[in-house]
Amino acid sequence: MNEVIAVEGLSKRFGQVQAVSGLSFTVHRGELFGFLGPNGAGKTTTINMLTGLARPDMGTIRIGGIDCTQRPRAAQHLIGVVPDESNLYPELTGFENLCFCAALYGLGKAERQERARRLLDQFGLAQAANRKFGGYSKGMKRKLTIAAGIIHQPEILFLDEPTTGIDVAGARHIRQLIADLHKAGTTIFLTTHYIEEAERLCGRIAFIVSGRIVRTDTVERLIQSVRDKHVVQITCSKMPDDMGTRLSQFFPGLELTSQGRESIRVEAGEPIRVGPLVRFLEDQGAEVAEARRMRPSLEDVFVQITGIEAHAMGQEQEKEKAGAG
């Protein structure tokens, strides 16, 4: 059987809020499947239903061929879950946390200690093995939480926003670990609001907006739809407030998106001549620092499909995390 996750007509309501509505998708064995959407789109609710932490109002979930709608906890030996917040025990050391998580899956003492040591080594945490989890940095906590999610070697791993709030080097290491896990054959269900992360890691992606999947496809086919688009990203300072209007009047064929006061994204269906654009901006008093031709990316697809500015989605989530913290 190739489909390890099969979801059909999944719906969930919390009071007056329809969190998820009629979701249908499949994830194949060994696939790295991305689940992308803005805050409140229903990503975590979906993960909770798939992992048995929430009950669907309607629809069916099959994990590894097991009907989880009828037996919500029957497939739990097949799955590993890395929640969006590190939820290990602050009083236990890194090593003890991993051993405890392995014990929850019935692993014997020698085996859980051996696996814990191996994972601590693999995740670059061997030096911190005997330090309490509560004293770990945010990046170390995320890594250990991922290690805890895979200590029982699950067939399917659910990763909820694994790199949110992590510094660049830490996030890069985590992405490499995810790629390695995928390479080793683990099926991964990844939610993230970093579109470039999904583009880099995932084979197939579902965009979810307001509880509904608006598009599911391979990254390649999704990008194909914007391949003919040409994009130039301009970074400048001292930009007049009405620069967008002036540009639109002077270059009517270009599609302009202002990204804050110091950046403009220019899109067109044909090659864009950067020189006239830069000259015009400088004539208007702006100081151009950089003008860069961009390769069409998944972000363009996301904006095209959902109408939501990708950077706005990320900022909103970061703000929320910071507020929660």
Partner 1 sequence: MRLWIAFWNILLKDMRTYYLKPPNISWGLLFPVAWTAMFFIKSGKGLDSILALLPGVVALSILFGTTSMLAVTVTFEKKNRSFERLLLAPIPLELLMLAKTGGAVVFGVANAFVPVLMALFLADLSQVNWIVFVPAVFMIAVASTFLGLFIAVAVSEVFEAQTFSNFFRFPMIFLCGLFFPIEKLPVFLKPLSYILPLTYGADMLHGAVHGRQSMPFPLDTALLGGFCVGLFAVSLWNIKRKWIL
Q: Which is nearer to partner 1, 158 or 194 (CB)?
A: 158
Q: Which is nearer to partner 1, 72 or 94 (CB)?
A: 72
Nearest approach, Cβ of residue 107 and partner 1 (Å): 7
Nearest approach, Cβ of residue 323 and partner 1 (Å): 17
Nearest approach, Cβ of residue 202 and partner 1 (Å): 23
Q: How far apart are CA 211 and CA 216, in angstroms?
A: 14
Nearest approach, Cβ of residue 78 and partner 1 (Å): 9
Cα separations (Å) of 266 from 50, 64, 262, 263, 290? 40, 46, 13, 10, 13
Q: How far apart are CA 171 and CA 192, in angstroms?
A: 12
Q: Which is nearer to partner 1, 10 or 54 (CB)?
A: 54
Length of the chain: 325
Q: Which is nearer to partner 1, 12 or 175 (CB)?
A: 12
- Our CA angle for 101, 174, 206, nearest 5°, is 95
Instruction: Return residues touching partner 1 (CB under 8 A).
Output: 14, 48, 51-55, 72-73, 76-77, 79, 81, 83, 85, 87-89, 91-92, 100-101, 103-108, 148
Nearest approach, Cβ of residue 236 and partner 1 (Å): 44
Contacts 24+ apart (CB under 8 A), 308-316: 308/38, 308/209, 309/257, 309/259, 310/195, 311/259, 313/38, 313/39, 313/193, 314/193, 314/194, 316/38, 316/39
Q: How far apart are CA 314 and CA 316, in angstroms?
A: 5
Nearest approach, Cβ of residue 106 and partner 1 (Å): 3
Q: Which helix (H) or strand (E) holds 231?
A: strand 230-237
Nearest Cα residue to 158 out of 146, 170, 166, 167: 146
Q: Which is nearer to partner 1, 101 or 266 (CB)?
A: 101
Q: Which is nearer to partner 1, 113 or 304 (CB)?
A: 113
